[in-house]
A and B are shown apart, each in its own frame.
Chain A
Amino acid sequence: MRRAVLALYALLIAVPLVVIVGGSFKTTPELFASPFGPPSNPTLDNYVTVLTKQDMLRVLGNSLTVVAVSVPVTLLLGSLVAFAVARLPRWPSRILFAIFAIGLAVPAQAVMIPQYVQFDRLGLRDSLTGLILVNIVVTLPIAVFILAGFMRTLPAELYEAAELDGAGPWACYRRIAVPVSYPSLAATAIFLIVMHWNDLLYPLLFIDDPDKRTLPLALLDFQGEYLTEYPLLFTGVVVASLPMVLAYAFLQRHFVAGITAGAVKG
């Protein structure tokens, strides 16, 4: 019974993925003629098309740029707030925490309209800078939650020796809180990477210039006007997912810890 349930669910997860990967090596007529069989005549044409004609390399570069900037900045700002939350007296700490807690309960879809106008007026809308900025503010609350949850558990004694030596809050943050919180920071980083890498809402809303598209948006654009080519779509899915899946394969434990921390705290 146990085995049957697990095997069934394993198939449910694996079969669609295998079909998609297989489909990326087929031509469109072959896909429609035999959607599920192995590719009879495997072709790399779809990959060539996606990587060259669809500007996927540029798009990948954009996604990398966004993640490379927005994740570290969110981590830095979030950990500073978390440190303050952990070290402030009771009421200021609670208020500070509550301000960010609001952001957890409000999904981005509820504030996207006024944000659109605001970023438009500031000239930040159709730019990677704007995308980075909006990623940061939208995910700051989650980062604060995960990190504050951890830093609050650190005993005050940890800092006492340093403070006796005359270390200020900045030194305490940098020399003690950050190194000790390393696992928590790593988990948060992974959660943020997955969030920012996969976000569609803001690129869809903000980005006009095709040269500034990120992966999910480019993928959505694969649906052509009168004919969607499924094999190309599948190839796009594979190309867009591969970096995350590879990272997951190698850093599995950290991924699980990170994404779960986001869920637990977010």
Chain B
Amino acid sequence: MIFFKNWRLLLFAAPALALYGGFFLLPAVQGLRYATTDWDGYSPAFTDVGLSNLTDVVSDDDLFRNALTNNLKFLLVVVLGQTALALLLAVLLAARSRASTALRALFFLPTVLSSVSVAFIWKFVYDPNFGLANSLLGAAGLDRFQSAYLGDEATAILWVAVAQIWFHAGQMMVIYIAGINQIPEELYDAAKTDGAGRWQQFRHVTWPMVAPATALVIAYTSLQSFKAFDLILGLAGNPPRSSLDVLSTRIYTTFTNSQLGYAAAESVIFMVAIAAVTLLQNRAARMVHG
């Protein structure tokens, strides 16, 4: 029975595999079965509807498409905005000093809060009449920039993205700082000898050298953007209106609307969407890095 050396090590993995297989992989596969029914989640009876749930989700469901669009917008803004901000902060704080250590700690702080807390904080920031944002704009004489924020149909999801960036930029900053600190000082010295200014140093030394960190930050941020469930539920209420709906909240709403089979079908498409985004990112990363 010895297939290879150390096969007993498989026993080490057995308990974890059993739990993870039984309570994560198995339900994930089982979801496919639910997706082909019209089960409401509680009745003993249900009908097999074949692939019609799946085709409906893909081709005949404005609410799902709207949630997908919002989710992609959200993802794009968070990935670009958060990555750029994290890199900027990291460049500014990479040098060690007492002040920079303190600021790093402050910028990282929101990460340890719960999404619900962050949502409540931002709900108050965005309140059009009593909130922080409009009050500050008003005090600064910038009334014309005041907004309804989460109530503004076209931009609502972007304001959620701002809250998300506030929440997690510090975490990504730390990854960048680690990346920057690994860059050999000689590279900068050489660039300086060549007469490179600060921008050129960044362009030709820092940016290419933090490429692995960038890949990590983007991959993680994307996955996080798909998970923005708690934040949106806290900010938008349950169920969120269409301008704030994303895929995870759409699935949850469908489920609470007693359409478990259809919610399972939405989950299947959700997984496909994530796979597609991941694939695209890998492609893009390969193109950028030759």
> Is there a contact between chains A and B in the complex with CB atoms less than 8 Å apart?
yes
Partner of A259, one of B8, B92, B111: B111
Contact of B109 among A20, A36, A81, A245 (CB under 8 A): A245
Which single member of B10, B31, B111, B117 contacts A111 (CB below 8 Å)? B31
**Which residue, B9, B93, B103, has most C-beta atoms of chain A within 10 A?**
B9
Selected contact of B248 from candidates A92, A109, A140, A245, CB within 8 Å: A109
Measured CB to CB, the nearest residue on chain B to A198 is B114
**Segment from B49-57, B58-66, B73-81, B168-176 that makes contact with A:** B168-176
Asked if A114 contacts B12 (CB within 8 A), the reply is no
- Which A residue's beta carbon lies closest to that of B41? A117
Residue of A nearest to B15 (CB): A77
Q: How large is the interface on A (under 10, 10 to 19, 20 to 34, 35 or more residues)?
A: 35 or more
Chain B residue with Cβ nearest A215: B114
Contact B24 A111 (CB under 8 A): yes
Q: Is the Cβ of A169 less than 8 Å from the Cβ of B132?
A: no
Q: Is the CB of B112 within 8 A of A248?
A: yes
* Residue-wise interface mask of A (95-117) relative to B, using a CB-CB cutoff of 8 A (1 in contact, 0 not): 01001101111111111111111
- The listed residue (B12, B26, B166, B251) touching A109 by CB distance below 8 A is B251
The answer to whether A80 touches B12 (Cβ under 8 A) is: yes
Residues of A within 8 A of B146 (CB): none
Contact B16 A140 (CB under 8 A): yes
Flag if B6 contacts A89 (CB, 8 Å).
yes
Q: Given the interface contacts A36-B135, A241-B114, does A111 sit within 8 Å of B27 by beta carbon?
A: yes
Interface residue ranges, B against A (CB under 8 Å): 4-10, 12-13, 15-17, 19-21, 23-28, 30-31, 34, 41, 88-89, 92-93, 103-117, 120-122, 124-125, 130-132, 135, 166, 170-172, 174-175, 178, 216-217, 220, 223, 226-227, 229-230, 233-234, 237, 247-248, 251-252, 255, 260, 263-264, 267, 270-271, 274-275, 278
**Overall SS of chain B's interface:** helix
Pick from B166, B233, B274: contact of A105, CB under 8 Å? B274
| Residues of A with C-beta under 8 A to B110 | 13
Please tell me which one of the listed residues A20, A87, A198 contacts residue B115 in the complex, with CB atoms under 8 A apart. Answer: A198
> Do A13 and B166 touch across chains, with their CB atoms under 8 A apart?
yes
The CA-CA distance from A118 to B237 in the complex, in Å, is 27
Q: Residues of B contacting A245 with CB < 8 Å?
A: 109, 112-113
- Sorted from nearest, which 3 A-B pairs have the closest CB atoms? A198-B114, A114-B27, A109-B248
